[in-house]
Amino acid sequence: MYADYTYYQTEYGGKMSADDYKRFGRRAERRIDGITGNKLQFAYPTDSRAVEAIKDCVCELADFLYQIDSYNNAAMESMGTVAQADGTVKGKVITSISSGSESIGYSAAGSASTATMEAAKDKKVADTMIYGMVRDGLGGVPDSNGVNLLYAGIPYPRRNAPISRPPEDKPVEKPGEPEEIGDNILIEIKKNPNGDTRTAPKGITFEQFQEANDMHIDDVKAVMYELSKMVDNAGENHDCTKKSQERMFYHDFVDTQENGADFVNGEWYQLHVKAERHHLLSNCPADVNLIDVLEMIADCTCAGLARSGEIRDLEIDTDILNQAVKNTAELIKSMVAVKG
């Protein structure tokens, strides 16, 4: 997380429990990522003041989202009347719910209206307030490349800059006994059937439903992050044989141009397609995956645009593509251990 629970509790002074903060802190991060164009995923600031601003923004937004959730939970339980300690009866807060407009109607009997309650009643108000918090918290804050986090221009102006990842989450505690998992296990997820009508038992509470949804979103986010590192690695090592065997490459290049040599059957090209994974039509690896497919697409597109200005039709065998999908699923399975 951009701001862990220790920071939230000790530096920011937050009052949520660790479990609540994990849930709403993640939600806050997702809203911030959406507003900042995911810059924190690849250009996380290294400046201490910028990092502190990000952490404070996460904490403030997490508190706000928690308050909205608390209001809505209270409202869902507030139909009818409630007996007071002195024996009197008081009307509860909620008067109506409209699912189509995602709004909740409240009576004046419950409590005085606040900005947070207005946000709980109206999603548009909530979205406006959330954007305002992020704008106020991160306005003028640069990423690791000096680009304002709120800059929304396309394309990103520093596309070739080094990647700077956010800090990794530290585990709260180590397992009490050895885990029988492979060395390539990167992600542990907890078994939770509560977010699917096909697997959930009857009687699931709204809180259990929320928890299951949050867990699933976090699981997918963790897997996508690991896959993104693999994509980064493929990009970093793309066409590595052009540099490691550059003189051989140049020799065959000149020999083809000047003497009409067969470049495809030459020594360098054959080494190239056997050593690298993205030439799927020339030498498809048995464990081909969708990262290889992405690299092939990027390779062909960039080469066409830079060399001739035209992108040739991309050809890929359906069997190769289907195998890449299956192998990617197996790759993810090999990264994940399910507990519980």
Per DSSP, 309 falls in state S
Q: Per residue in 44-75, pLDDT tens?
A: 998 899 999 999 999 999 999 999 888 887 76
Stretch (H or E) spanning 83: strand 81-83
For 96-129, write each residue's pLDDT tens digit.
Answer: 444 444 444 544 444 434 777 888 888 888 888 9
What lies within 8 Å, CB to CB, of 316 at 6+ separation is 280, 281, 293, 296
Let me know: does 281 contact 316? Beta carbons within 8 Å: yes
Q: Give the separation between CA 276 and CA 299, rounded to whole angstroms.
A: 12
User: What's the pLDDT score for residue 273?
Assistant: 85
Per the CB < 8 A criterion, the answer to whether 268 and 248 are in contact is: yes
Q: What confidence category does residue 140 fall into, taking pLDDT thresholds of 50, 70 and 90?
A: confident
Long-range (24+ apart) CB contacts under 8 A made by 251-256 are: none
With helix as H, strand as E and coil as C, how does 192-226 read? CCCCCCCCCCCCCCHHHHHHHHHHHHHHHHHHHHH
The pLDDT of residue 156 is 64
Instruction: Between 73 and 169, name the one with better pLDDT.
Output: 73
With beta carbons less than 8 A apart as the criterion, state whether 65 and 24 touch: yes
Amino acid making up residue 320: I
Token pair, residue 67, equals 């308050």
Instruction: Please give the angle made by the CA atoms of 37, 131 and 56, to the nearest 5 degrees.
Output: 85
pLDDT band of 225, cuts 50, 70, 90: confident
164 pLDDT band, cuts 50/70/90, is confident
Planar angle of CA 149, 150, 154, nearest 5 degrees:
95
Model pLDDT, residue 155: 58
What pLDDT is stored for residue 186 in this prediction? 66
Q: How confident is the model at residue 335 (pLDDT cuts 50, 70, 90)?
A: confident
